[in-house]
Structure 1
Amino acid sequence: MRRRATTMTVSAVTVAVLLLGLPGIVLGSFFLWRDAVDGVHRSAVTIMNAVDRRTTAAQPVQRDVVDNAVSSSSYAAYVFLRTEEGAIEAGRMPAGETISHTATGVSGARVTVAISRSDVVARIGYLAGLGAVAILVSFGVGVVVARWQSRRLSAPLIYLAAAAEQIGAGQARPRMKKSGIEEIDLVYEELVRTADRMAGRIAAERQFAADASHQLRTPLTALSMRLEEIEYLSDREDVREEAASCLEQVERLAGVVAELLSTSQSAAVGTEAVPLRKLFDQQRDEWERSFQTAGRDLVFDDEAGLAVLVSPSSLAQIIATLIENSLKYGAGTTRVSARKVGKGVVLDVADEGEGIRDDLTEAIFSKGVSTGGSTGIGLPLARSLAEAAGGRLELASARPPVFRVVLSAVPRSLDPDKILPAGSIISMGSRRRRR
Structure 2
Amino acid sequence: MRRRLLSSTLVVAVIAVLLLGVPLGVVVSRLIVDEAGQELQSDARRLLGEVEYARIQDEPISPQQIARNYPDRYIQVYEGGNPPKVTMVGTEPIAHHKMTADAHSESGVWVQVSRDRGEVEQDVRARLLLIVALAAAALAVAVGLAIVQSRRLTLPLQDLAMIAERLGSGDARPSKHRYGIQELDRVAEVLDRSATRISDLLSREREFATDASHQLRTPLTGLTMRLEEIVEAADQPDIVREEGEAAIVQAERLTAVIDELLAAARRQRHAQARPIDIDTVLVQQVTEWEPAFRRAGRKLVLDGDRGLRAMATPGGLGQVVSSLLENSLEHGDGPVVVSTSKGEKSIVIEVGDQGPGIPDDLAAKVFERNVSGRGGTGLGLTLARALAAADGGRLELVRPRPAVFAIFLLPVDGNGRRVVSGPA
TM-score, L = length of structure 1: 0.50
CA spacing shift, 1:179–1:268, aligned 2, 3 Å = farther
Q: Which amino acid aligns with 1:93?
A: E
CA spacing shift, 1:231–1:183, aligned 2, 3 Å = same
Per-residue deviation, 1:26 = 1.2
Check if 1:153 corresponds to 2:149: no
Check if 1:200 corresponds to 2:200: yes
1:78 aligns to what?
A: 74
Alpha-carbon RMSD: 4.8
CA deviations over 1:110-169 (Å, ceiling 9, x no partner): 332111123323333444444445545544554554455344333322222221111111
Matches within 5 A, 1:99-248: 99-105=99-105, 108-136=108-136, 138-139=138-139, 141-143=141-143, 145-175=145-175, 177-225=177-225, 227-229=227-229, 231-232=231-232, 235-236=235-236, 239-240=239-240, 243=243
Q: Which amino acid aligns with 2:94?
A: A
Check if 1:91 corresponds to 2:90: yes
Per-residue deviation, 1:103 = 1.7
- The 2-side partners of 1:225 and 1:114 are apart by 128
SS in 1 for 2:179: coil
SS in 2 for 1:100: strand
Q: Which runs of 5+ in 2 are unaligned?
A: 275-344, 347-363, 370-383, 391-423
Q: Which amino acid aligns with 2:225?
A: M
> % of aligned pairs identical?
32
Q: Which amino acid aligns with 2:76?
A: F
1:24 aligns to what?
A: 24
SS in 2 for 1:94: coil
TM-score, L = length of structure 2: 0.51
Kindly tell me the number of residue pairs found equivalent between the two proteins.
279
- The 2-side partners of 1:265 and 1:86 are apart by 125
Q: Does structure 1 retain, via aligned residues, the 8 Å contact 2:219–2:250?
A: no
CA deviations over 1:8-32 (Å, ceiling 9, x no partner): 3232122212211111111111111
- The 1-side partners of 2:186 and 2:151 are apart by 19
Per-residue deviation, 1:241 = 7.9
In terms of Rg, which structure is larger? 2
Q: Which runs of 5+ in 1 are unaligned?
A: 270-282, 288-327, 330-362, 369-374, 382-434
CA spacing shift, 1:247–1:69, aligned 2, 3 Å = farther
Per-residue deviation, 1:4 = 3.5
CA spacing shift, 1:178–1:51, aligned 2, 3 Å = farther
Q: Does structure 1 retain, via aligned residues, the 8 Å contact 2:230–2:244?
A: no
- The 1-side partners of 2:90 and 2:252 are apart by 120
- The 2-side partners of 1:268 and 1:48 are apart by 109
SS in 2 for 1:180: coil
CA deviations over 1:358-409 (Å, ceiling 9, x no partner): xxxxx9xx979xxxxxx8759x99xxxxxxxxxxxxxxxxxxxxxxxxxxxx
- The 2-side partners of 1:125 and 1:242 are apart by 116
- The 1-side partners of 2:137 and 2:264 are apart by 64
- The 1-side partners of 2:169 and 2:120 are apart by 73
CA deviations over 1:83-120 (Å, ceiling 9, x no partner): 68976654332223311112224654433211112332
Per-residue deviation, 1:34 = 0.9
Comparing 247-256 with 216-225, greater Cα deviation is found at 247-256
- The 2-side partners of 1:265 and 1:11 are apart by 62
Q: Which amino acid aligns with 1:43?
A: D
Matches within 5 A, 1:356-371: none
CA spacing shift, 1:96–1:254, aligned 2, 3 Å = farther
